[in-house]
Structure 1
Amino acid sequence: MVDTVWPADSVEFCPHESASDIFVCGTYLLEHSTADVVHTASDDDKAHLEPDNIGNQRQVRRGKCLVFRVTESRAASQVQEINLPAVLDQKWCHTTSTASPVLGVADSEGNITLHEWHTGECQLKTFQNISCAPSDVLCLSLDWSTRRFPTNTLGSLVVSLSNGSLCVLKPDSTGEVSVVDKWHAHDYEPWIAAWNYWDTSVVYSGGDDLTMKGWDIRQSFSVTTIQSHPHTEHLIAVGSYDDSVYIFDARKPIVPLVRGDVGGGAWRVKWHPSPTRKEDLLVAGMHDGFKVVKVHGEDLAWGITKRFDDHKSLAYGVDWSFAPPDVDGQTLIASCSFYDHALHLWSG
């Protein structure tokens, strides 16, 4: 048994083949500086997440990254101690054998610090500190994207924050890691964020709001329209400003089944009201007119079958008639546009 002195909350073995006998342990000490009283997480499960100021007392969160080597007798021998703000989580980046092991540490002052393992010197060396949030926000967890497919370079990171947000960090061409995206994800603390290692466009998160959520991080656009399919269960059409319509299976809503380019941003989508034309979708394409799209086959092949471009302004409203089709099998369609205040009837 090893006494870590301060309360310990995370342990991570190094996955690199050259350092598989190395592991780290993170510690977290909560202090009220004016009273010289030490509080630990055992006093109250969430005491360490209270506001920094309580009355006249200033909370100070201190931590250490303790580095250990496993001996031949399977004992833990400490080889290094790194002073940090309180440590909430730690993860090693999974890299190939030709790259150096790198450890990411999430701390109580909104930072992710990156540390490279130097085998010859048997120590971690800090090479970057990334601020993800103000110093009164805690980084609660982190995860690297490369677990399933290790790389020669650093992977991406997802980090959960005590203010309910998630952020994604990525390295640039020089290897410098920075925050590239951040969004509010939960109403209470998201204790965990993790990648889908098989599809790294997807991250998961969960927390004290009693929810687990999945996020497609490619979709950083506004959703403008949604319609469930009236004749095919589980299918949902979703439009966005990014000139696309996405078809989702409601049972697996993280990744779309298909993405179709409709041009100009999709303001409205309408499935055909008849089950005999259940593959037809009507789209108001804002800056690129109105279209009838066919989404067919097991692979949901996407194709535009008709356009209507007589409107001279933003294509907003559109709908199918529920009346029987005409002699050519076409359905009456109404469409309207904004600044030219125009309404048209046409068939498709």
Structure 2
Amino acid sequence: MAWKSKTRSLQVFDTELSADTVEWCPVSPSHSILVCGTYQGGEEDATPSRIGRLYLFEFRREGLMCPPLTELQRMDTAAILDLKCHVPVSDRAVLGMAAATGELQLYTLSHNQEGSHSLQSLCSLEVGAERLALSLDWSTGRMDRLATRDPITSDVRVVCSDSAGCISVLSLAEGALTALSQWKAHDFEAWISAFSYWDTQLVYSGDDCKLKGWDLRIGPSSPTFTSKHSMGVCSIHSNPHREHILATGYDEQILLWDGRNMRQPLSETPVGGGVWRLKWHPTHEHLLLAACMHNDFHILHCQQALGSAGACPLAASYILHSSLAYGADWSRLSLEDPAPCSPPTTEPKESAAESRGHLRIQYESPTASFDTSLEDDAGRYIPEGITAPQTTPTPGPALNPDEDTPSLSCLLASCSFYDHMLHVWRWDW
């Protein structure tokens, strides 16, 4: 039986500056918390200037006529290139930020007696002068302890890549960052770095044409492997559920690897547009989210590809952004009710009129599988609880979801660059 897949836009937010990274909080009980980072380049007195802004939101379902995303905080910062939040320290989530100043900055998520959340600066460390910190990853991404709510108190490390081609490994202990090692890993910008979540002595990195592996036990004098590609390797993510499985994105391809044999990928899937970020689903091991720059956002089902050779079929696509698709992430927040259908919409149209932080965007899908109307003609918010005429979801390939999950509803966020837009949307499968 073929699956039925539907995406529905819930809210659109104008970030004003170019948006390039989003991250949901994976630490209970703060799964409703979302952060978004921006990057704006320019020149002041012939000197390049890069500014950014860090947004903190909460996803609330308070009533039918209220948009669900509430802005809690905004902070002007240096331009932000990556955000990652994996670590609970002393029962608080810690957010890592890679900044254009060459710094790795850490923030803790705090909440007061009234239940409101805010970000507080914890510490920062410069990985190098006159360079941009481009990416980061925590060694705790497997999230075993998050599921048991057991705070991680030791051996918390972070890997960071930068525009000088260097990789830095740092330790977080007693609220401070300490540099453990740094080495020149690539001749060009090191766009991405990541841990193997199953063996955190293994680190991966990518640049304009190479994917490399490093074993911290034997030192960085030479990589454990080098895989050459025709274009840039911009995304790497270790599967937090399946040992040895690694997803990488380069040019317009998504590759799945078995870390024990990096000579040949298990699977290669063309997605087009340039793969900028990849995120495995937090609880379902076969689902992979991809931000594909010039070709929107896609969810891949990787079950067959991990069992045998072949490309991964697309389970869903989100195509409502009108600019570079950069940031994307899954929320762990439960969506209990199925999403309703909304009325047919018109040709692609965007209005600059804002109301409480959300915009009106309408889109007519050729497959009738996307519900995207956010406001009615009078500018009133259209909540997802209102019933509307039925549309027919588009059947996908003849695969079933995970056997223990006959249906699935997911909350996601994505952002795009030049149009400075943050979208919150849901996928029902």
Using the size of structure 2 for normalisation, the TM-score is 0.45
Are 1:110 and 2:99 counterparts? Answer: no
Q: Say what the alpha-carbon RMSD is for the aligned residues.
A: 2.2
Are 1:220 and 2:224 counterparts? Answer: no
Does the 8 A contact of 1:153 with 1:175 survive in 2?
Answer: no
Are 1:82 and 2:75 counterparts? Answer: yes
Following superposition, the deviation at residue 181 of structure 1 comes to 0.3
Does the 8 A contact of 1:19 with 1:119 survive in 2?
Answer: no
1:53-132 equivalences under 5 Å are 57-72=46-61, 75-95=68-88, 99-120=91-112, 121-132=116-127
Letter in 1 for 2:44: S
Letter in 2 for 1:168: V
Are 1:183 and 2:183 counterparts? Answer: yes
String of CA shifts for 1:84-106, please: whole Å, max 9, x gaps. 1100000002338x621110101
Distance 2:42 2:108 in 1: 30
Letter in 2 for 1:17: S
1:296-307 equivalences under 5 Å are none
Distance 2:169 2:221 in 1: 18
Change in Cα spacing, 1:252 to 1:31, as seen in structure 2 (3 Å) is closer
Distance 2:220 2:61 in 1: 54
Corresponding residue for 2:199? Answer: 199
After superposing on structure 2, the runs of 4+ consecutive aligned residues of structure 1 that deviate more than 3 Å are 249-253
Corresponding residue for 2:225? Answer: none
Corresponding residue for 1:165? Answer: 166
Choose which of 22, 46, 61 in structure 2 pairs with 1:11. Answer: 22
Change in Cα spacing, 1:221 to 1:77, as seen in structure 2 (3 Å) is closer
Secondary structure of the corresponding residue to residue 147 of structure 1:
coil
Distance 1:152 1:205 in 2: 25
Distance 1:63 1:221 in 2: 33
Following superposition, the deviation at residue 131 of structure 1 comes to 1.0
Distance 2:99 2:58 in 1: 23
Distance 1:221 1:67 in 2: 37
Give the count of matched residue pairs: 202
Following superposition, the deviation at residue 145 of structure 1 comes to 0.5
String of CA shifts for 1:241-279, please: whole Å, max 9, x gaps. xxxxxxxx99469xxxxxxxxxxxxxxxxxxxxxxxxxx
Letter in 2 for 1:196: S
String of CA shifts for 1:126-146, please: whole Å, max 9, x gaps. 010111111x20000000010
Distance 2:103 2:59 in 1: 29
Distance 2:175 2:15 in 1: 33
Distance 1:183 1:221 in 2: 7
Following superposition, the deviation at residue 147 of structure 1 comes to 1.4
Secondary structure of the corresponding residue to residue 113 of structure 1:
strand
Corresponding residue for 1:152? Answer: 152
Using the size of structure 1 for normalisation, the TM-score is 0.55
Following superposition, the deviation at residue 221 of structure 1 comes to 7.0
Does the 8 A contact of 2:87 with 2:152 survive in 1?
Answer: no
Following superposition, the deviation at residue 153 of structure 1 comes to 2.5
Letter in 2 for 1:215: W
Change in Cα spacing, 1:158 to 1:222, as seen in structure 2 (3 Å) is closer
String of CA shifts for 1:48-71, please: whole Å, max 9, x gaps. xxxxxxxxx111100111111112
Distance 2:78 2:52 in 1: 5
Letter in 1 for 2:22: V
Change in Cα spacing, 1:222 to 1:77, as seen in structure 2 (3 Å) is closer
Does the 8 A contact of 1:99 with 1:153 survive in 2?
Answer: no
Distance 2:261 2:22 in 1: 35
Corresponding residue for 2:128? Answer: 133
Following superposition, the deviation at residue 219 of structure 1 comes to 1.3
Identity across aligned pairs (percent)? 34
Following superposition, the deviation at residue 171 of structure 1 comes to 2.3
Q: Which runs of 5+ in 1 are unaligned?
A: 35-56, 224-248, 254-348
Change in Cα spacing, 1:6 to 1:222, as seen in structure 2 (3 Å) is closer
Following superposition, the deviation at residue 21 of structure 1 comes to 0.5
Corresponding residue for 1:40? Answer: none
Following superposition, the deviation at residue 182 of structure 1 comes to 0.3
